[in-house]
């Protein structure tokens, strides 16, 4: 594949990633608020639709990996987008008939779509080659920067256009985003996954993931993603609960998503310069800073700055963990390792998002932040220890 074709394919996958993350940011900023409208007096399950999204992602990660191994990346991506369109249609209809269960099932289908879309970052490595893995991963993930601007703003701008069916508009918009992603993929070229591309046979999965480097890569992604989801999922409820408005929530989430993906333009270069362990450690420290800022007050500025720190934390921890993981397996092992990694990551995210809603409703915003703090501290200590250990070995 020519260099220009490689660049075009990665650029278009970044566009498809942007559509995927715009869908996710619409859900993040609105799903809990939709649930508040659809639920009865007990609002403790307000984050269940968000939990349904990440549960769907966790359940579909391994099947998505197997489908892509058999049929190829592009057919898998098309299948995933189709699931998202189906889920958005069901969610929109459920809002129309005021059905909380139907809305949650629709959210789960959208989450299953996300499981397929999460392989854009691995497809970027397939296209760019292992020597450019960190830059390819970070560039595709940078497509999410667009999502930070358009996702929550779509939710904000369309939530009342079909009154009295509040929030019907954003879920109809998700259908359009899916169709646009399909159009981008038409022009993408991705090499077929080949397990025979390595001379050595595939090792047992347990042997691969119990390597210290692989274990740290997976745990970093789990803590980075689950910690981010834990705080972020509770944020719209905390903002509204403090007397601020839903529009304030949309704006905070918008800048949070920008912070999640904006650094991706240079994260790959930073990883190449400083190494994966240091970037994971820096991401963990930013998570600690997020908690400190959140605990200092409940003004809009506190929410905004805390969520920006949280977004950058996720970026460094997740991209650092993803890049580190790709160094631990052979081409013949890629499918099963990637599938297990995403299953573990999104399984932890599902648990975190449901727990966040319950803790926020019953104990409040401070408890949410105190709960996640020890995890960020532990990963920071582990990552910097491994970084020093690697430097000592190289000396």
* Dist. CA 270–CA 264, nearest whole Å: 10
Collapsing DSSP states into helix, strand and coil, what is residue 188? Answer: coil
Mean pLDDT of the region 152-171: 87
* Dist. CA 268–CA 272, nearest whole Å: 6
Contacts of residue 105, defined as CB under 8 A and 6 or more positions apart, other chains included, come to: 52, 87, 90, 94
pLDDT for 159 beyond 50: yes
* Dist. CA 317–CA 288, nearest whole Å: 13
pLDDT for 191 beyond 80: no
Phi, psi of 152 (to 5 degrees): -60, -30
Contacts of residue 130, defined as CB under 8 A and 6 or more positions apart, other chains included, come to: 326
* Dist. CA 24–CA 26, nearest whole Å: 5
* Dist. CA 155–CA 253, nearest whole Å: 11
Closest CA to 185 of 78, 301, 306: 78
Per-residue pLDDT reduced to its tens digit, 301-358:
999 999 999 999 999 998 889 888 988 888 777 778 887 888 888 888 888 887 887 8
* Dist. CA 125–CA 134, nearest whole Å: 8
pLDDT band at 142 (very low <50, low <70, confident <90, very high): low
Per-residue pLDDT reduced to its tens digit, 26-82:
887 788 888 888 887 777 777 788 888 888 888 888 888 888 888 888 899 999 999
Neighbours of 290 (CB within 10 A): 27
pLDDT band at 2 (very low <50, low <70, confident <90, very high): low
Q: Residue 47's domain is classified under what CATH number? A: 1.20.1250.20
Closest CA to 235 of 55, 36, 32, 372: 32
Collapsing DSSP states into helix, strand and coil, what is residue 302? Answer: helix
Per-residue pLDDT reduced to its tens digit, 232-286:
888 888 998 888 887 888 888 888 888 887 887 788 788 888 888 999 999 999 9
Phi, psi of 159 (to 5 degrees): -65, -20
pTM to 2 decimals? 0.75
Q: In residues, how long is the chain?
A: 395
Collapsing DSSP states into helix, strand and coil, what is residue 249? Answer: helix
* Dist. CA 286–CA 297, nearest whole Å: 18
Collapsing DSSP states into helix, strand and coil, what is residue 317? Answer: helix
* Dist. CA 166–CA 98, nearest whole Å: 10
pLDDT for 120 beyond 90: no
Give the burial class of 41: count Cβ atoms within 10 A of its Cβ; 0-12 exposed, 13-18 middle, 19 or more buried: exposed
Total domains in the fold of the chain: 1
Full residue range of the structural domain in which residue 259 is found: 3-191+198-394
Q: Are 147 and 25 in contact (CB under 8 A)?
A: yes
Q: Where are the alpha helices (DSSP H) in 98-143?
A: 100-117, 120-128, 133-141
Per-residue pLDDT reduced to its tens digit, 80-116:
999 999 999 999 999 999 999 999 999 999 999 988 9
CA geometry: angle 133, 114, 10, nearest 5 deg:
35
Q: Are 310 and 235 in contact (CB under 8 A)?
A: no
Q: Report the range of poorest mean pLDDT among 3-7, 54-58, 174-178, 280-284.
A: 3-7
């Amino acid at each position: 594949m020519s260099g220009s074709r490689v660049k075009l394919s990665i650029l278009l996958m970044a566009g498809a990633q942007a559509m995927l993350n715009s869908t996710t940011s619409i859900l993040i900023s609105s799903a809990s608020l939709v649930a508040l409208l659809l639920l009865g007096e007990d609002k403790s399950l307000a984050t269940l639709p968000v939990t349904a999204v990440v549960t769907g992602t966790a359940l579909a990660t391994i099947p998505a990996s197997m489908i892509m191994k058999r049929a190829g990346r592009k057919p898998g991506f098309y299948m995933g987008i189709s699931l998202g369109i189906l889920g958005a249609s069901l969610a929109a209809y459920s809002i129309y008939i005021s059905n909380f269960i139907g809305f949650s099932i629709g959210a789960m289908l959208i989450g299953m779509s996300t499981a397929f879309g999460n392989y854009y970052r691995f497809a970027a490595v397939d296209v760019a080659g292992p020597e450019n893995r960190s830059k390819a991963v970070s560039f595709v993930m940078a497509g999410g920067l667009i999502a930070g601007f358009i996702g929550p703003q779509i939710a904000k701008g369309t939530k009342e256009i079909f009154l009295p069916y509040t929030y019907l508009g954003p879920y109809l918009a998700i259908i359009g985003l899916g169709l646009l992603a399909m159009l981008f993929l038409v022009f993408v070229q991705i090499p077929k996954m080949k397990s025979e591309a390595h001379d050595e046979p595939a090792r047992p999965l347990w042997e691969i993931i119990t390597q210290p480097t692989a274990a740290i890569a997976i745990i970093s992604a789990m803590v980075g993603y689950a910690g981010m989801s834990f705080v972020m999922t509770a944020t719209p409820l905390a903002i509204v609960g403090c007397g601020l408005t839903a529009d304030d929530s949309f704006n905070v989430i918008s800048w949070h998503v920008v912070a999640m993906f904006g650094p991706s333009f240079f994260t790959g270069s930073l990883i190449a310069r400083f190494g994966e362990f240091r970037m994971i450690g820096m991401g963990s420290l930013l998570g600690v800073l997020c908690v400190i800022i959140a605990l200092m007050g409940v003004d809009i500025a506190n929410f905004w700055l805390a969520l920006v720190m949280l977004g950058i934390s996720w970026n460094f921890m997740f991209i650092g963990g993803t890049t580190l993981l790709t160094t631990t397996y052979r081409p013949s092992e890629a499918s099963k390792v990637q599938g297990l990694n995403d299953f573990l990551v999104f399984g932890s995210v599902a648990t975190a998002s449901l727990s966040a809603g319950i803790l926020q409703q019953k104990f409040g915003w401070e408890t949410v932040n105190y709960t996640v703090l020890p995890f960020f501290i532990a990963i920071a200590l582990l990552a910097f220890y491994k970084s020093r250990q690697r430097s000592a070995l190289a000396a």
